[in-house]
Amino acid sequence: MTAANSGKDGVVVKIDARRCIANAKCTTAAPGFYVLDEETGVAVLENQEAASVQQLFAGARACPTQAISIEQYGRRVFPQILTPMFGDAPERDGGSD
């Protein structure tokens, strides 16, 4: 997995080469920032300093295999692992009867 620190708002983009299928949807969504490596055919992030956070997310969202993940301040923000829970946690039946 390759990681690129964009330096923008604590955003780090990670690309999992094992999941990338080289269909180039990320390069279409964010041209000039996501490119396919000519030797490996795997997506890489180039010129990340010039990319906006929106462009970084656009490329990640376009990936059909979710090979691109984004972390911000050390926490994964895309793709979302679990849906956040708001309010109190639901009661669980202990089943001890």
User: What is the SS3 assignment for 80?
Assistant: coil
Is residue 93 over pLDDT 90? no
Tell me the per-residue pLDDT of 12-41, one tens digit each, with 9 for 90 and over: 999 999 999 999 999 999 999 999 999 999
Percent of the residues in the chain that have a pLDDT greater than 70, as a whole number? 77
> What is the predicted pLDDT for the residue at 85?
57
CB 78 within 8 A of CB 61: yes
Average pLDDT, the chain: 86
Tell me the per-residue pLDDT of 62-72, one tens digit each, with 9 for 90 and over: 999 999 999 98
36-41, long-range: CB < 8 A, 24+ apart: none
Question: Which structural domains are found in the chain, ordered by start?
Answer: 2-78 (3.30.70.20)
**Residue reference for tokens 């390069």:** 27
pLDDT mean over 36-61: 94
